């Protein structure tokens, strides 16, 4: 689709000062397969997927590698317990990982398994190269081993005689003849590299940890096991197998096509390894040393992300704290899980996962902010413009408010790109939501329903609706790496062709977002089902255990829903007089009022409804003190189902009007006293 109205197309370029990369190769850690995928694994794969999709959107030739680490002792032991071969167990678990990544829309280009033929060949070749270069020698290992980490531990690493990362498991004493890698020879080169390349270890905190540890001194590490059978035979001594970490790290060069030199020359070195903070040592010290020893270039960046915890406890198989990401996605949708994790947790830091906070984010950001913007906009385009968007130019007929929306969007696009390049994924999303927030406000301020009543203001109405649809187009492109399904849904409902987030020089591409006006004139919208239907409060939320946000908007009407307008206000969904008659509005007198402890927006009111005494909870505390409420006559919905807010039953809802900017609120009261119980109609 071409944009005939736009004069100034721009080429897809990166922000100023950024190198335009011809290719972008990124990887995740490969997961152990002795347990099902959990939310921690999913978090990492989602973050990597967002980055991969962003790079495709930015026009980079992108290779995204993920996979499984299969030669672990845990696998061998579990397979033995189940009476099957390790490979059979791996095959079964790999199916579970692949299914999880499918449900979560992880768009990897290759799923590597360390049992793949090309990986086995690559590992053997790299070991041989390092041996020939003189960095592998024979020795005897006598020390501790943590099977969960697959890590050799010194006495000084132990805490109370146990592995600090897996305190519920016993460490094992290992004494065997094996081969060593001369890590100590790389201490100086590693230090120099990390100091000279601040981008090599990210974020900054991990870089400092790694530098400090290297400065403490490096010891040579064992790279083979003679008492383990499940693994890749060591090419220089086939009675031994390659130590699982040595094998696993090499997956990154296998994935770049090591066995096909031309392909490897194109993809290697990797641009970004995304790994958890627990394994930065392997990736920032051992891995670059292996590459140096093999004479291969080093990756550009290793990013050590934080951990997803539950009430502060680390999610982990061995500690039995797990959340099934597939079930979560099945219940809330893949986009909701992706959005929540990316928005809630600052990439690089730890974050706490909880269902109430997921539900809160979903309702606030997705259902209310984004979902409402789409529904309101499309409903109005259908109702007022017969479903057809007319391209009208801000410069020609717009005012300061129109220009402000365009400015907000353009600043957001710049911030988004800058944050994405810095891997600050949550702030990139926050930047997009500034467009969503401003567009919702723009509706309230422009009041298209009023413009629609005046034929002389038709062009103004068309401009407002164009700007809203254009804002949604930009949002769809920008969110496409994060919530690809919703982005597609917005695109389809806007009536656009193709897919948002395509690296194309048209309205689907990133470059087009930097300019206003790519939405084609004459676009016919196709309003569909809501993308994010609102989640009703759970019994726990009703009891006040979780977020009060949805409940507040229910109790206070306009107050809680500030900035959002009821659908009927726009005339989108008209109701009949009979439907209105079902709502019983009555005058009530406030007998007593008090603040609700722990909820700064809520007041508890005791009211007289004409001989009947009730209590209601209302989100008006920011606008009225308890004292000024007492004695007032107010209007309440008397036949509303009771709801619990912060554990207090609210038996009705008062009516109040909120200003467009949400900054002031006024109670609806009878113009002269009529007495409690009077009907309002």
The binding site for ligand MSP (CB under 6 A) comprises 29-32, 40-41, 43-44, 69, 248-249, 251, 275-276, 278-279, 307-308, 314-316
| 31 or 444: CB nearest ligand MSP | 31
CB 176 within 8 A of CB 227: yes
| Residue 45: Cβ within 10 Å count | 24
| Residue 583: Cβ within 10 Å count | 13
Q: C-alpha angle with apex 92: 88 to 98, nearest 5 degrees? A: 140
Q: How far is the CB of 235 from ligand MSP (least distance, A)?
A: 20
| 24 or 252: CB nearest ligand MSP | 252
Terminal C-alpha separation, the chain: 51
Q: How far is the CB of 31 from ligand MSP (least distance, A)?
A: 4
| 51 or 58: CB nearest ligand MSP | 51
For residues 246 and 240, give the distance between their C-alpha atoms in angstroms, rounded to a whole number. Answer: 13
Q: How far is the CB of 452 from ligand MSP (least distance, A)?
A: 50
Q: How far is the CB of 77 from ligand MSP (least distance, A)?
A: 16
Q: Tell me the backbone φ, ψ of residue 186, rounded to 5 degrees.
A: -105, 5
| 316 or 553: CB nearest ligand MSP | 316
| 165 or 478: CB nearest ligand MSP | 165
Helices 425-446 + 39-57 axis angle, to 10: 70
Q: How far is the CB of 322 from ligand MSP (least distance, A)?
A: 9
| 296 or 451: CB nearest ligand MSP | 296
- Can the peptide bond before residue 269 be classed as cis, meaning omega within 30 degrees of 0? yes
| 275 or 405: CB nearest ligand MSP | 275
**Which residues does residue 131 pair with via DSSP β-bridges, in sequence order?**
none
Helices 400-421 + 425-446 axis angle, to 10: 170
**Three-state SS annotation for 408-420:** HHHHHHHHHHHHH
Number of residue whose CB is nearest ligand MSP: 276
Q: How far is the CB of 431 from ligand MSP (least distance, A)?
A: 24
Q: How far is the CB of 280 from ligand MSP (least distance, A)?
A: 9
Output DSSP code: residue 155: G
Q: C-alpha angle with apex 272: 271 to 277, nearest 5 degrees? A: 155
Q: How far is the CB of 251 from ligand MSP (least distance, A)?
A: 6
| 286 or 508: CB nearest ligand MSP | 286
274: enclosing H helix or E strand:
strand 272-276
For residues 542 and 551, give the distance between their C-alpha atoms in angstroms, rounded to a whole number. Answer: 8
| 67 or 495: CB nearest ligand MSP | 67
Q: How far is the CB of 106 from ligand MSP (least distance, A)?
A: 13
Q: How far is the CB of 114 from ligand MSP (least distance, A)?
A: 9
For residues 452 and 432, give the distance between their C-alpha atoms in angstroms, rounded to a whole number. Answer: 29
> Whose structure tokens read 């408010």?
401
Structure tokens at 238: 């086939």
Output DSSP code: residue 270: P
Q: How far is the CB of 63 from ligand MSP (least distance, A)?
A: 16
| 278 or 324: CB nearest ligand MSP | 278
Give, in order, the Cα–Cα distances in Å from 431 to each of 410, 412, 413, 442, 672.
Answer: 10, 5, 7, 17, 48
| 308 or 552: CB nearest ligand MSP | 308
| 201 or 248: CB nearest ligand MSP | 248
- CA-nearest of 25, 52, 48, 66 to 248 is 66
- Can the peptide bond before residue 203 be classed as cis, meaning omega within 30 degrees of 0? yes
Q: How far is the CB of 32 from ligand MSP (least distance, A)?
A: 4
Output DSSP code: residue 236: T
Give, in order, the Cα–Cα distances in Å from 9 to each of 3, 39, 149, 511, 523.
Answer: 9, 42, 52, 9, 19
Q: How far is the CB of 51 from ligand MSP (least distance, A)?
A: 15
> Whose structure tokens read 């390790």?
86
| 44 or 365: CB nearest ligand MSP | 44
For residues 41 and 69, give the distance between their C-alpha atoms in angstroms, rounded to a whole number. Answer: 13
How many CA atoms does the CB half-sphere of 195 hold within 13 Å?
10
Q: How many helices (H) and strands (E) does the chain have?
A: 26, 27
| 148 or 224: CB nearest ligand MSP | 148
| 44 or 360: CB nearest ligand MSP | 44
139: enclosing H helix or E strand:
strand 136-146
Q: How far is the CB of 152 from ligand MSP (least distance, A)?
A: 15
Q: How far is the CB of 277 from ligand MSP (least distance, A)?
A: 7
CB 115 within 8 A of CB 93: no
CB 299 within 8 A of CB 255: no
């Amino acid at each position: 689709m071409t944009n005939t109205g736009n004069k100034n197309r721009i080429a897809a370029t990166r922000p100023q000062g950024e190198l335009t990369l011809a290719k972008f190769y990124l990887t995740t850690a490969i997961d152990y397969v002795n347990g099902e995928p959990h939310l921690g694994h999913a978090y990492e794969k989602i973050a990597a997927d967002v980055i991969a999709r962003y790079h495709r959107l930015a026009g980079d030739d992108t290779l995204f590698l993920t996979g499984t680490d299969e030669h672990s002792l845990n696998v061998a032991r579990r397979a033995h317990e189940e009476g099957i071969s390790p490979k059979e167990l791996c095959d079964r678990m790999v199916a579970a990982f692949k299914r999880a990544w499918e449900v979560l829309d992880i768009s990897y280009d290759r799923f590597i398994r360390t049992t793949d033929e090309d990986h086995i060949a690559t590992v053997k070749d790299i070991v041989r190269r390092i041996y020939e270069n003189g960095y592998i020698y024979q020795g005897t290992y006598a020390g501790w081993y943590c099977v969960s980490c697959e890590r050799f531990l010194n006495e000084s690493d132990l805490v109370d005689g146990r592995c600090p990362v897996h305190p519920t498991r016993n460490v094992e004493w290992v004494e065997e003849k094996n081969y060593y890698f001369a890590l100590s020879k790389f201490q100086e080169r590693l230090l120099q590299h990390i100091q000279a390349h601040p981008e090599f270890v990210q974020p900054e905190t991990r870089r400092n940890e790694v530098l400090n540890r290297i400065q403490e001194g490096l010891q040579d590490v064992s790279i083979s096991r003679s008492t383990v059978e499940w693994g890749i035979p060591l090419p220089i001594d086939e009675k031994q197998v390659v130590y699982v970490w040595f094998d696993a790290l090499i997956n990154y060069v296998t994935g770049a096509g090591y066995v096909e030199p031309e392909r490897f020359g194109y993809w290697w070195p990797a641009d970004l390894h995304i790994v958890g903070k627990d394994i930065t040592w392997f990736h920032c010290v051992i891995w670059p040393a292996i590459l140096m020893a093999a004479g291969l270039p080093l990756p550009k960046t290793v990013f050590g992300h934080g951990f997803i915890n539950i009430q502060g406890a680390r999610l982990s198989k061995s500690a039995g704290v797990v959340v099934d990401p597939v079930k979560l996605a099945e219940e809330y949708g893949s986009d909701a899980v992706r959005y929540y994790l990316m928005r809630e947790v600052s990439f690089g830091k730890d974050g706490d996962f909880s269902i109430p906070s997921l539900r809160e984010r979903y309702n606030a950001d997705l259902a209310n902010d984004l979902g409402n913007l789409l529904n309101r906009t499309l409903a109005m385009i259908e109702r007022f413009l017969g479903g057809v968007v007319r391209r009208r130019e801000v410069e020609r007929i717009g005012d300061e408010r129109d220009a402000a929306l365009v400015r907000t969007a353009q600043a957001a696009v710049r911030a988004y790109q800058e944050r994405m390049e810095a891997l600050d994924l949550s702030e990139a999303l926050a930047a997009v939501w500034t467009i969503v927030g401003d567009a919702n406000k723009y509706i309230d301020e422009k009041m298209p329903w009023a413009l629609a009543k005046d034929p002389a203001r038709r062009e103004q109405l068309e401009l407002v609706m164009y700007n809203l649809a254009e804002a949604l187009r930009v949002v769809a492109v920008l969110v496409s790496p994060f919530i690809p399904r919703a982005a597609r849904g917005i695109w389809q409902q806007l009536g656009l062709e193709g897919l948002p987030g395509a690296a194309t020089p048209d309205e689907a591409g990133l470059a087009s977002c930097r300019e206003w006006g790519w939405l084609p004139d004459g676009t016919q919208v196709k309003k569909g089902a809501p993308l994010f239907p609102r989640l009703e409060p759970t019994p726990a939320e009703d009891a006040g255990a979780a977020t009060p946000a949805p409940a507040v908007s229910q109790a206070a009407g306009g107050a809680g829903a500030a900035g959002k307008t009821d659908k009927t206000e726009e005339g989108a969904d008209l109701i009949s007089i009979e439907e209105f008659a079902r709502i019983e509005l009555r005058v009530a007198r406030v007998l007593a009022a008090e603040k609700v402890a722990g909820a700064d927006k809520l007041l508890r009111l005791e009211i007289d409804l004409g001989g009947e005494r009730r209590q209601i909870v209302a989100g008006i505390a920011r606008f009225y003190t308890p004292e000024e409420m007492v004695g007032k006559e107010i209007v309440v919905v008397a036949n509303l189902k009771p709801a619990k807010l912060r554990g207090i039953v609210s038996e009705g809802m008062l009516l109040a009007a909120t200003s467009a900017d949400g900054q002031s609120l006024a109670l609806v009261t009878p113009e002269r006293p009529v007495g409690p119980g009077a009907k309002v109609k």
